Copies of this chain bind each other. A is one copy, B any other.
């Protein structure tokens, strides 16, 4: 069996962390006798430079021909003067999500044992740990709802966006959240603003309906404003958080920051046929690009998610995850995860990749 993966390394630290993910994948292929073919394409700022737009037709075609996309990160100061719509992040990510109907975004965030001190939370809260999976709807809601635009003139000129959700859209993402909860701590917290939004009232109704098919999973509803607060006080009481597109954007970033170790967080964006795009949660970090100090773990774990969800290679995925756990638990860490007086033990980007590849 042979697989095709489109590699979109992007900008900033993207290419250097991608190199380590490729190193690890190579080991995995050898060990599990897999045949994966890679094709590289420009995306984001580098694509603007080389092709005049953040998501060139050639890149889109390359992704269409692949079984999955391994994505690095995009953006940087060079392209920040561009209009929001033309910037690397927005201009590449939203069209990719829309084009491939990647409606399901999985963002796992866990406070790793031994790394609790990285969390911005008070030590008595972080010491209890947490392990949250944010399941975010990614192709609906106010991101893609029509109409969206402007009308009128002068002081009366107004802009408008439409938040829109159908039963079908809510049901398919809710089902994924409940299925995920069954394999975890069996609790779904659905985030909405049902005291204000018509979309949230429908969201609640549909989620309640789906819950009936999962009697072993506990369901609770929470308003987005309250969710933002409760995550700060008792993050350990959440398991799966089910969110619409906009609320998931906010909640997943809050949780990511609560781990204090963005360089370890990966994410998957899937459609209903198993095709998916896999990327680190952190950004392109242009300030540290090219120095060989970026943490490649998030990119490596994104590759593991790709093997699991799109290529259905569970064993190979677990092998990578075990190798990463080994590195972290043995204190094999990049500098940003070490305190000032331990910093001399920091591993470089490629040392991390080597260690994890060997451990596979």
A residues lining the B interface (CB < 8 Å): 84-85, 87, 89-90, 94, 119-123, 125-126, 142-143, 145, 148-150, 152, 154-168, 171, 193-199, 201-203, 224-226, 228-229, 232-233, 246, 249-250, 253-254, 256-258
| Complex interface: chain B residues within 8 A of A201 (CB) | 84, 159
Check A232–B258 contact: CB distance below 8 A.
yes
Check A155–B166 contact: CB distance below 8 A.
yes
| Complex interface: chain B residues within 8 A of A162 (CB) | 160-163
Check B166–A152 contact: CB distance below 8 A.
yes
This chain: how many copies in the complex? Answer: 2
CA distance A114 to B278 in the complex (A): 46
A-B contact list, 14 entries, CB within 8 Å: A84-B195, A84-B201, A120-B125, A122-B126, A142-B197, A148-B197, A155-B168, A156-B166, A157-B167, A159-B198, A161-B199, A193-B246, A225-B250, A226-B253
Residue from B89, B168, B194, B258 in contact with A156 in the complex, judged by beta carbons closer than 8 Å: B168
Check A84–B194 contact: CB distance below 8 A.
yes
Check A229–B253 contact: CB distance below 8 A.
yes
Check B167–A158 contact: CB distance below 8 A.
yes
Check A145–B120 contact: CB distance below 8 A.
no
Q: Which residue of B lies closest to A247 (CB)?
A: B250
| Complex interface: chain B residues within 8 A of A229 (CB) | 253-254, 256-257
| Complex interface: chain B residues within 8 A of A163 (CB) | 142, 160-163
Check B257–A202 contact: CB distance below 8 A.
no
A142 to chain B, nearest CB (A): 7
A144 to chain B, nearest CB (A): 9
Known: A166-B158, A202-B157, A229-B253. A90 touches B122 (CB 8 A): no
| Complex interface: chain B residues within 8 A of A156 (CB) | 166-168
CA distance A168 to B85 in the complex (A): 24
CA distance A90 to B196 in the complex (A): 7
CA distance A38 to B51 in the complex (A): 69
A282 to chain B, nearest CB (A): 11
A160-B163, A254-B254 given; 10 more Cβ-contact pairs under 8 Å: A90-B195, A156-B166, A159-B165, A159-B197, A160-B164, A228-B250, A228-B257, A229-B253, A229-B254, A232-B254
Check A165–B155 contact: CB distance below 8 A.
no
A240 to chain B, nearest CB (A): 19
| Complex interface: chain B residues within 8 A of A150 (CB) | 198, 202
| Complex interface: chain B residues within 8 A of A157 (CB) | 166-167, 202
Check B89–A195 contact: CB distance below 8 A.
yes
| Complex interface: chain B residues within 8 A of A142 (CB) | 142, 161, 163, 196-197
Check B195–A158 contact: CB distance below 8 A.
no
CA distance A225 to B198 in the complex (A): 23
Check B155–A167 contact: CB distance below 8 A.
yes
Check B143–A155 contact: CB distance below 8 A.
no
Check A164–B168 contact: CB distance below 8 A.
no
CA distance A152 to B198 in the complex (A): 14
CA distance A253 to B222 in the complex (A): 14
CA distance A84 to B203 in the complex (A): 13
> Which of A119, A158, A195 has the most CB atoms of chain B within a 10 A radius of its CB?
A158
| Complex interface: chain B residues within 8 A of A254 (CB) | 228-229, 232, 254
